[in-house]
Structure 1
Amino acid sequence: MKTYVVGGAVRDALLGLPVQDRDYVVVGATPEQMVAKGFKPVGKDFPVFLHPHTNEEYALARTERKTAAGYKGFVFHTDPTVSLEQDLVRRDLTINAIARDEQGVLIDPYHGRADLEKGLFRHVSSAFEEDPVRILRIARFAARFSVAPHAFTVAPETMELMKSMVAAGEVDALVPERVWQEISRGLMEQKPSRMFEVLRECGALARLMPELNALWGVPQPAKFHPEIDTGAHIMLVVDYAAQQNYSLSIRFAALLHDLGKAVTDSNLWPRHHGHEALGVDLVKKLCERLRVPVDCRELAVMTTRDHGNVGRSREMRAATLQDMLERNDAFRKPQRFLDMLKAAECDCFGRSGLDDIQFPQVGFLTSVLNAALAVNAGAVAQPYLGQPQKIAEVVRVARINAIRPLLNIQHDGD
């Protein structure tokens, strides 16, 4: 019985990156032997065991055979005769098919170290095409390993294989939960745009997120968007959100906020009047299809609907500002409203060649929100108990009055 560290732990150590988790492969053992040594079995599809002291995962060396479309159609086989090389050949990329034995010696039968040095994502074998999740994983890895000295690209032959998998309909068999899992993880990497660029190049983005894919080739006014192409703009926006280390919900909202630009009247392009309202249904449709969590979905809808209003906020009347706060449930969920402002800020700064750009709307609307929140709604409503319509009216007026002085300050500053 021999034990090897495999996969990401070996890869990251060779790249000089912190190692978060270690996965182990055990060659020459049976499940009964593992249990006898105190390991706890946890695997459903194939034998995986938790170490009795460290709780790290140890999997028996295995082979796989594809039996159906999608990523769940596999039969796994384990026995003591399965070799380390047989186990590694079924892995996705050569850089993830390197093992290290208990003495620290590297076993690299598929030349993963060479691809690490070249900065290449290359598939190990034709088995790659049997699992469409691997397309998403490569795209996510592209977002993670995107900055020198760890800037990776997809090997041409691997990209061609990915394209053929998309054309064969393999991506269509992916379940929504798994797609969202990989997309959300990629959004949290240091350069999310690389994930979407890889998905777009192989054709998977058009299958998984057609509403987003439709933004490439849609022009915008060069005066405000030197990058012109809406798809290029969205990539700048989501990368800016990552640079600010914003939460997943903010990054997702930033990603989707301009979906409506693909469905405005093309005869009026590059202007996109009304794209905010048009985008709301597209965001809802995408989120429902991918079963996006509620917090991400709600912020994406809010941002899509109101990012234009945020940009115009310093020109609005106090009543209009109050109504925007109420429409976005800002009095009950003020932090979510502030998160929407951050997503709108990403939209502003996600542009090329506008170094002197400013976005004072965030500070202004934060002050507006604080002024409205400072109104003691209970005290204002006290004289009108039992009159719900009157209460709503007087509280609204009180908030408008609290906001109005900020407009005077704002106009004086102009």
Structure 2
Amino acid sequence: MQIYKVGGAVRDRLLGKPVTDIDWVVVGATTEEMLAQGFRPVGADFPVFLHPKTGEEYALARTERKSGRGYGGFTFHASPEVTLEEDLIRRDLTINAMAEDDGQNLTDPYNGQRDLEGRILRHVSPAFAEDPLRVLRVARFAARYAALGFTVAPETLELMRTLSESGELEALTAERSWKEISRALMEEQPQVFIQVLRDCGALKVLMPEVDALFGVPQPEAHHPEIDSGIHTLSVLEQSALHRQPLTVRWACLLHDLGKGLTPQEEWPRHIAHEHTGLKLIKAVNERFKAPKECQELALLVGQYHTHGHRALELKATTLLELLQSFDVYRRPQRFEEFIAACEMDARGRKGLEQRSYPQADYLRGAATVARSVAVQPLLEKGFKGPELGEALKRERLKALKAYKEAAAS
């Protein structure tokens, strides 16, 4: 029995990056031998075991054969005869197909170290094209390592294009797709993930609503970058630079989908795109079964982001309606994330990345003013039920009018 550290742990150590998760491969062992040493079996598809003390995953060396559609369409074979090289060749990228023994002696049959040094994301073998999930994985690695200068090898991008055109991407489950998408959006350069998906034709299959934004112009006065797709990438880039949470990044990706529906004769204006985009945002949310908080914020940002930009001009009644829509009294964090998404939208414009966004503090102030209106005095006046709600609304409106006047003076 020989045990090797494989995959990301080896890759990241060679890159000088922190190693968080460690995967192990065991060569020359049987399931019975693993159990005899106290390893606990997990997973029904292939033999993976948890170490009795560390809880880390140890997998028996295995080969795989395509037997159906999608990510799960594989038959696995594990036996003591499977070599380390045979196990490594089934992996996605050469930089993930290296192994180390306990003396840090490197096994690198597919030149992963060379590709690390050349900053290339390259597939290991033609079997890469059998697994549609790898399209998303490679795009995610491109987003993770873009800052180090990594790019996708042309021949790998071509295989990804073949996969995108094959219909295999449609076989991915919502859960698997969302897992990759959500991880990619939290990488250092999530806009690279979307760009790589577009380069290989996968964006058109997975998120045609986002793909449709590219080539759609916007008024140059507000959007020096002009192209709606480029703007979306820039907003996503800003959300990562400002370390926004997943909810905000998801909303940033989907906020302008309505612009893809604007008839060409109306370009570059996009009247009411906030409302026309809602059905598209809802469709994308449902396609990937995004978490509830991501779905809700994306829809609210899509509908109200122009309100955010025009915050200082809004009438007190409109401002109150905006605050009510977000339920700022019980869910203050959601409104804070809306403000963040609006600011990222404002900064995601060519040459305007550093400009100030006074609307943010103004909106926060308005929310504080509305929340500070006390209920008790109204109860003491005898208001209750629907009448109490109306009285509370009147008092909040009065407070917001005073807030607006003070801000304008």
TM-score by length of 2: 0.98
Which residue of 2 is the match for residue 101 of structure 1?
Answer: 101
Conserved 8 A contact 2:94-2:121: yes
Conserved 8 A contact 2:98-2:107: yes
Conserved 8 A contact 2:309-2:359: yes
* Cα distance per residue 1:208-228 (max 9 Å; x no partner): 111111100010111111111
Deviation at 1:43, TM superposition (A): 2.6
Which residue of 2 is the match for residue 402 of structure 1?
Answer: 399
Deviation at 1:305, TM superposition (A): 0.3
Conserved 8 A contact 1:264-1:274: no
Deviation at 1:265, TM superposition (A): 3.0
Deviation at 1:131, TM superposition (A): 0.6
Which runs of no fewer than 5 residues in structure 2 stay unpaired? none
* Cα distance per residue 1:148-177 (max 9 Å; x no partner): xx2211101111111111111111111111
1:328 aligns with 2:326: yes
Bigger shift: residues 371-380 or 174-183: 371-380
Specify the SS of the correspondent of 2:53. Answer: coil
Specify the SS of the correspondent of 2:123. Answer: coil
Superposed, which structure 2 residues align to 1:156-171 within 5 Å?
156-171=154-169
Conserved 8 A contact 2:347-2:354: no
Superposed, which structure 2 residues align to 1:154-233 within 5 Å?
154-233=152-231
- Among candidates 363, 375, 392, match of residue 377 of structure 1: 375
Deviation at 1:378, TM superposition (A): 4.1
Read off the aligned partner of 2:43 and give its amino acid letter.
G
Which runs of no fewer than 5 residues in structure 1 stay unpaired? none
Superposed, which structure 2 residues align to 1:113-124 within 5 Å?
113-124=113-124
Bigger shift: residues 347-356 or 319-328: 347-356
Counterpart-to-counterpart distance in 1, 2:299 and 2:375 = 27
Q: State the superposition RMSD in angstroms.
A: 1.1
Counterpart-to-counterpart distance in 1, 2:212 and 2:366 = 36
Deviation at 1:289, TM superposition (A): 1.2
- Among candidates 287, 292, 299, match of residue 285 of structure 2: 287
Superposed, which structure 2 residues align to 1:297-336 within 5 Å?
297-336=295-334
Counterpart-to-counterpart distance in 1, 2:382 and 2:141 = 59
Specify the SS of the correspondent of 2:277. Answer: helix
Which residue of 1 is the match for residue 42 of structure 2?
Answer: 42
Read off the aligned partner of 1:67 and give its amino acid letter.
S
Conserved 8 A contact 1:62-1:87: yes
Read off the aligned partner of 1:37 and give its amino acid letter.
Q
Specify the SS of the correspondent of 2:124. Answer: coil
Counterpart-to-counterpart distance in 1, 2:74 and 2:370 = 58
Which residue of 2 is the match for residue 364 of structure 1?
Answer: 362
* Cα distance per residue 1:152-211 (max 9 Å; x no partner): 111011111111111111111111111111111000001000000110011111111111
Read off the aligned partner of 2:252 and give its amino acid letter.
A
Conserved 8 A contact 1:64-1:76: yes
Which residue of 1 is the match for residue 387 of structure 2?
Answer: 390
Read off the aligned partner of 2:23 and give its amino acid letter.
D
Which residue of 2 is the match for residue 9 of structure 1?
Answer: 9
Specify the SS of the correspondent of 1:220. Answer: coil
Bigger shift: residues 5-14 or 218-227: 218-227
- Amino-acid identity (%): 50
Which residue of 1 is the match for residue 276 of structure 2?
Answer: 278
Aligned residue pairs total 409
Counterpart-to-counterpart distance in 2, 1:313 and 1:220 = 21
Counterpart-to-counterpart distance in 2, 1:301 and 1:410 = 29
Deviation at 1:13, TM superposition (A): 0.3
Counterpart-to-counterpart distance in 1, 2:377 and 2:282 = 38
